[in-house]
Amino acid sequence: MRAHVITFGCQMNEYDTLTIQSELVAGGHELVDAPQDANLILLNTCAVRGKPIEKVVSLLGDLRKERRAGRDVSVALMGCLAQLDEGKAIAEKFEVDALVGPGAITDVLEAIEAIEEARFAGERAAFESLRFREDLVDHHTPPHEGALTGFLTIMRGCDHHCTYCIVPTTRGPEVSRPLEAIVREAEAMARAGVQEVYLLGQNVNSYGLGDASLPSFAELLRTVARVGIPRVKFTTSHPMNFTSDVIDAIAEEEAVCNYIHLPVQSGSDRVLRRMAREYGRERYLDIVREIRAKVPDVVLSTDIIVGFPGETEEDFSETLSLFDEVAFEHAYTFIYSARPGTPSHRHFDDMPKRIKTDRLARLIELQKAHSLRANGALVGRELRVLVKEAARDGDFVMGHSDQQHTVLVPKDQVRRLGLHSVRVDQATPHTLYGSVVGADVGAVPLRLAS
Ligand code: SAH
Ligand code: SF4
Ligand code: F3S
């Protein structure tokens, strides 16, 4: 079939999309770039908040309309939403042909077979696979042709039970991938000229926990740091098991970037307890102090939920004061979204929307000031930037620094994509503007920009 995959959600879903695409190609199907050229659309969905679900529903609505108007296209609902009752109901409503959960993505060829058979018979397939396949930890996902950045999932699932979160339901229990599978994949990326790898998992720090045959996350980091990819980044870290040996590996291994995404979710102990986050404010601050002491040029980012059921103004002010204490360089801020089936869904989410949006706006304002201060301090300094693609403003190209700053440089200064040394000329809260002072600082040959 002529297939097109649309991806929602986190980087783990992006990685899964690469796996789905390589399965499709192995099965003799064609990947098409434009959705209108496809006769099979696969939606790799996210269910973490209401918004990504709304996006999928709206797309499914459009597809149903087109199909009723005579377009010959089959639809597979894959990823986290597919795993939930909510997803099943949506699939029914929009006459989806196949439902494949995130633990069963390699069943995609079976789904297509069922779709093809049903098409032949002039029926709808209604294929379903929602199992958590054990062999999903030992597959091989080749890097995208010509990619500068590679994603590498090191573990699947989540054993935490944060009361607001649907992910443990959608992705099942934690399973770490074998070390050899990870190293093989990292080495293939190094050979393919990938300049930056992201090690992915819902809590990368619990890699190998409870399995004596696997190394710790810190040891894994050190191993991957030595395969020849110039930059190693990882996400997401859970503060609960963010141990000193991980901080030491970041400080000591040159390839491991000094950038840490460490979601805190709230600054209030009372809210953290009700979220079942398994750490308190002081423990979080202790980790931050240790990180800043051992890795002086570190950049820290976080995730925050505002408007958790029962969050008082006092609780929220503790989140603001935590932001002042830590001075995160960057933060991803979310309004609490009640997910059916999660423990906190039982709490009455009765906070007026106006209060939630007001808190969000105040937090964003505060974060902006912190980001601007941190970025402003970089003016005049040189950063190593992986120049990746044309920026939205056509006069610039966009890249990321070792510490994950978004950096724009004038297009006429860059002849090739890849690693460049860039002097920062100007700073805004979310973007640095710079000039190239040297190219090709990467360890591997760079490709020509198109
Ligand atoms: N495993 C990661 C995060 C996974 S989800 C961790 O534990 O940090 C990414 C982010 O989405 C979370 O950090 C949280 O801030 C946010 N999130 C998850 N569920 C949410 C919900 N129900 N409402 C709002 N934000 C949510
Ligand atoms: Fe969700 Fe918590 Fe697991 Fe992260 S650690 S995926 S927030 S349950
Ligand atoms: Fe979304 Fe699933 Fe990732 S719910 S955030 S795609 S793990």
Domains detected in the chain: 2-131 (3.40.50.12160), 134-257 (3.30.750.210), 382-439 (2.40.50.140)
SS3 at position 220: helix
Percent helix, strand and coil across the chain, each to the nearest 5 = 40, 25, 40
The pLDDT assigned to 450 comes to 37
Segment holding 13, helix H or strand E: helix 11-26
The pLDDT assigned to 131 comes to 96
Q: Where are the beta strands (DSSP E) in 135-229?
A: 149-153, 155-156, 175-176, 196-200
Q: Please report, in angstroms and rounded to a whole number, the separation of the first and last CA atoms in the chain.
A: 29
The pLDDT assigned to 440 comes to 58
To test the ligand 1 pocket, which listed residue (165, 198, 304, 349) has its Cβ within 8 A of the most ligand atoms? 165
**What are the pocket residues of ligand 3 if the criterion is a CB atom closer than 6 Å to any ligand atom?**
9-10, 12-13, 46-48, 79-80, 167, 170-171
- How many angstroms does the Cα of residue 445 sit away from the middle of ligand 2? 38
**Distances from the Cα of 36 to the Cαs of 2, 4, 66, 275, 427, in angstroms?**
10, 9, 10, 43, 40
- How many angstroms does the Cα of residue 277 sit away from the middle of ligand 2? 8
Cα distance between residue 165 and residue 168, in whole Å: 7
Which ligand 1 atom sits nearest the alpha carbon of residue 164? 22
SS3 at position 203: coil
The pLDDT assigned to 139 comes to 78
- How many angstroms does the Cα of residue 287 sit away from the middle of ligand 1? 20
Cα distance between residue 342 and residue 353, in whole Å: 20
Angle between helices 85-93 and 50-68 (to 10 degrees): 20
The pLDDT assigned to 439 comes to 66
Contact 195, 439 (CB under 8 A): no
Beta bridge partners of 332: 303
CA 33 remoteness from chain centre: 22
For 398, phi then psi, to 5°, come to: -115, 145
The pLDDT assigned to 141 comes to 76
Cα distance between residue 228 and residue 216, in whole Å: 20
Residues 6+ apart with CB under 8 A from 95: 64, 67, 75, 124
CA 14 remoteness from chain centre: 8
- How many angstroms does the Cα of residue 256 sit away from the middle of ligand 3? 25
Amino acid 118 reads A
pTM equals 0.95
Contact 398, 422 (CB under 8 A): no
For 189, phi then psi, to 5°, come to: -65, -45
Question: Does ligand 2 come within 6 angstroms of the Cβ of 203?
Answer: yes
Residues 6+ apart with CB under 8 A from 186: 152, 197, 224, 227, 229
Beta bridge partners of 234: 199
Which ligand 2 atom sits nearest the alpha carbon of residue 158? 3
Contact 318, 268 (CB under 8 A): yes
Q: Whose CA is nearest to atom 18 of ligand 1?
A: 165
Question: Does ligand 1 come within 6 angstroms of the Cβ of 303?
Answer: yes
To test the ligand 1 pocket, which listed residue (161, 170, 334) has its Cβ within 8 A of the most ligand atoms? 334
Q: Whose CA is nearest to atom 21 of ligand 1?
A: 337
- How many angstroms does the Cα of residue 6 sit away from the middle of ligand 1? 21
Q: Whose CA is nearest to atom 13 of ligand 1?
A: 303
Q: What angle do CA 257, 260, 266 make, to 5 degrees?
A: 175
Instruction: Write out the two tokens for 119.
Output: 């098409």
Q: Closest ligand to 275 CA?
A: 2
Residues 6+ apart with CB under 8 A from 316: 268, 306, 359
Q: Whose CA is nearest to atom 3 of ligand 3?
A: 10
The pLDDT assigned to 441 comes to 53
Q: What angle do CA 96, 24, 171 make, to 5 degrees?
A: 60
Residue indicated by tokens 């609780």 = 315
To test the ligand 3 pocket, which listed residue (6, 48, 84) has its Cβ within 8 A of the most ligand atoms? 48
**Distances from the Cα of 46 to the Cαs of 17, 136, 307, 334, in angstroms?**
12, 19, 21, 15
Q: Kindly give the parts of the chain with pLDDT less than 50.
A: 442-450
Q: Closest ligand to 47 CA?
A: 3
The pLDDT assigned to 350 comes to 80
